[in-house]
Amino acid sequence: MDILYDHTNKIFNATLSANIDFQDKVIGYGYTKLYIDPELWYFWAGRPSLPCNVNIYNLASAKAYFMVGQNLEPMAPPPPQLTSLISDYSLNNQRNVEQISIGNGMAVGVSLDIGFDKSIGWDSFEIYGSGSVGAGFDMTMIKYGPNVQCEGSATKGIGLRNWYLQGRLYAWLSLNTGIRGHALGSDFDLSLLSANAAILLEGKLPKPTYVSGYVHLDATVLSFIHVDMDFDFDFGSNCTIING
C-alpha cells in the first residue's frame, strides 16, 4: 500500500496491490488506485492494460477491471483466441479517447478463459481431446458534454441526458478430438471432430442505438464432412460523436 497526500497542491494518490499464490495452484494479482486533485479524479480496480487476474490450476483464468471518474483507459482488443476467428471483421472504436480523458464515467470489463488438453490411453491407441472456451465483455458509460452530437446531425446531445453506453460482448469455442495409435504395423491419427465457433456483438445506446456483430463457425467431422460459415450484421444508426 502506498498513500500520498500533497497538502500544498491538494493531491491525494493511493495505490494498493496484492499478489495471490496458493501452493502454485491458484495464482493472481490485483491492484486499486485512487487519485484526486482539483482538476482530475478517478478510481481504478485494475485497468484494460493491466487487469486484475487469477489463474486456477492452469485450467481456468479470469481477468477483470473497473474504472470510474476521469482518465479512463481506452478499451483493449478482444482476446487473440477470438480475433483469430473473426479476422475479416473490423472492430469498432468503443471509446472516444478524447472524451474519456476529460469526461466523467465508468468502465468495466470481465473475461473468462478455460482450456484443456487430455488423453485416455489403452494398449495400442488413445483418445485425445483439446480445446478452449471463453467469454467476456467490456462496457463504458460516459457523461458527455452539452455540445456533443452525432456527426451529420443538427441536434445536440446524445443518449440519456448525454450519458451514453458503448460496449462489446464476445464468446468463442475451439475443440479438437480424435483417436491415435498403432495398428497393422503403422501409426494412425484419426480426427473425430475439429471445430471453432465465435460470436462478437458491439453496440451503442440509447438515442441513437446501434448494434453490429459477427458470427464464425467452422467444423470438420471424421475428416470428410466440412462446415464453414461467416456472416456479419448491423442495425440502427451508428453515431460518430463530435463536439458541435
Please tell me the predicted confidence (pLDDT) of residue 96. Answer: 59
Q: Please tell me the distance from the alpha carbon of residue 3 to that of residue 122, in angstroms, as a whole number.
A: 60
- Give residue limits of the domains in the chain: 1-62, 74-243
Residue 92: which residues within 8 A CB-CB, separation 6 or more?
202, 212, 238
DSSP bridge pairs for 239:
none
pLDDT exceeds 80 at position 97: no
Alpha-carbon distances, residue 4 vs 7, 10, 16, 47, 66 (angstroms): 10, 10, 12, 21, 22
* 211: Cα separation from own chain's centroid: 17
Q: For residue 101, what is its C-alpha cell?
A: 480523458
Read off the pTM.
Answer: 0.85
How high is the mean pLDDT of the chain? 88
pLDDT at 154: 78
88 pLDDT above the threshold of 80: no
- Cβ count near 67 (within 10 Å): 23
- In this prediction, residue 112 carries a pLDDT of 95
**Does residue 93 surpass a pLDDT of 60?**
no
The contacts of residue 42 (CB under 8 Å, 6+ apart) are: 33, 34, 35, 67, 68, 69, 70, 71, 72
- Least confidently predicted of 7-16, 34-43, 81-90, 206-215: 81-90
Q: Confidence band (pLDDT; 50, 70, 90) for 233?
A: very high
pLDDT digits (tens, 9 = 90+) for 134-173: 999 999 888 887 888 888 887 888 888 888 999 999 999 9
